[in-house]
Structure 1
């Protein structure tokens, strides 16, 4: 397998995983059930990623470093994050809001142990340093003078470096910290909302917004084209305080339109051209 094919298949694998996670999270199931479903999907994706790697030979160290510093960790981070969410939510007490708040605060405090334990490497990673990358992110290059994870011996040496798993933990814990903060502050954030600021409200049909967001995504309008579709839809829903439901199903319905599949985009173009023409009169 050449490098282009390998990258294409890995990118598609990541896209499929993020789409599956988003669809599961849009269901009405409890978070415990959703987390379990996501873990199964993620486990299958990581196994496929591992199989792809077996069929590929990195041409140089830079490619191998990129894979183990960026690509693999994002898959594993999803698994770690939802494993922790599952453990937290499945074990939470049936208690009043104050007790639950304390429970979540305690879980958030537990994250400090990891940050303190890996303080040196976290600083290296967050500063986007590269001078130790060959020791951290190349297989079979363990430097025992560096601080290594005690779990290292149980890792698959063909699919692991000394520190890629720690990158996954950093990514997962950052997500978990935000999750716990939202749980802790959810009531306060509603009470402290600024009521006198009038929010914009989307009053056109939801299908029109979905059509627009798909078009913006395909035109790579967000983050230089590196934003996931699910990320764009979450941003739109949060910004406009709107629920777009199963937008994948709506997109399928847009594709089945007999005439003018881009109905809303055509309307936008017509109205803007009309406005320009009116200004010229």
Structure 2
């Protein structure tokens, strides 16, 4: 069975490949949905055929590996559904549509996730009840579980692995929706009306910032490389109050530049070396 890091690396590689080959986010979400559905099915076939070496491997799979695949699948399928319903780009209708989607996500989160004992367990990083949550055959109907439990293949689900996948998907969808909403609105309490941050803004080109973001993503220096390019982009958009639009296609245009393809990073390196030389 493949490790969590291997699975994540495979998904990230596929994301990069698909973003290069597709014309827009709808196509990208559709292709990723097909890929992740196939990956989940292949994984299920393997598990049902080979099984697990021991309890520890079974817990690891249903706690770490399956939720990552299923969570990404739920996320991309939701993105596809949202994007195919979206009105014309920009304008008030566009903003209101994504604000409404965000509000619906928050309501669903408050109703089905945030108050649950399992969500508190997950967020606190506990492991003392892993055998209860992530071993097959331990579903306790006295907990008042969601009715979709009756639709699950209990040979390939513990119920809570699906619950965790939905939590992970909601986090991804939340960040995606924030990138679609006006940056000033999406920043919320993080930077809004902050006197200490009002003088922080990006003064170079958007392409330069995108080049920097991709360099940080490609090097895996943020959160050990376990968060996606969109989440990193969101942080920079909020910090510098600058909308970056479709970063994937901006990046792929950079790849076709004549001469150096890393002009901004080259400029940073030169500037730092010159600054160092001042102290000699």
> Which interval holds the TM-score relative to the shorter structure?
0.5 to 0.7
Aligned to 2:111: 113
Which residue is equivalent to 1:246? Answer: 249
TM-score, structure 2 as length reference: 0.67
Name the structure 2 match of 1:277: 277
3-state secondary structure, aligned to 1:128: coil
Say what the alpha-carbon RMSD is for the aligned residues: 4.6
Gaps of 5+ in 2: none
CA deviation after TM superposition for structure 1 residue 52, in Å: 5.2
Deviations 1:19-54 (A, max 9, x none): 467669x9556x6x7755553343233234434545
Distance 2:253 2:55 in 1: 44
* CA displacement at 1:6 relative to structure 2: 4.8
Give the TM-score normalised by the residue count of structure 1: 0.66
Q: Deviations over 1:44-92 (max 9, x none)?
A: 3323443454576544433322321232213222333455566677779
Q: 2:127 aligns with which of 115, 126, 130?
A: 130
**What is the aligned partner in structure 1 of residue 168 from structure 2?**
171
Count the aligned residue pairs. Answer: 266
Distance 1:233 1:239, change over 3 A: same
For the pair 1:235 / 2:232, whether they are aligned, the reply is no
Gaps of 5+ in 1: none
1:14 matched to 2:14? The reply is no
Contact 2:183 2:238 (8 Å CA) reproduced: no
What is the DSSP-based 3-state SS (H/G/I as helix, E as strand, rest coil) of the residue aligned with 2:8? helix
Structure index of larger Rg: 1
Q: Output aligned runs, 1:1-281, within 5 Å.
A: 6-7=3-4, 9-19=6-16, 28=24, 36=30, 38-51=32-45, 53=47, 58-84=52-78, 105=103, 108-115=106-113, 119-143=116-140, 146-176=143-173, 189=185, 197-203=198-204, 206=207, 208-240=208-240, 241=242, 242-243=244-245, 244-250=247-253, 252-253=255-256, 264-280=264-280
1:245 to partner: Cα distance: 4.6
Distance change (3 Å), C-alpha of 1:143 and 1:99: closer
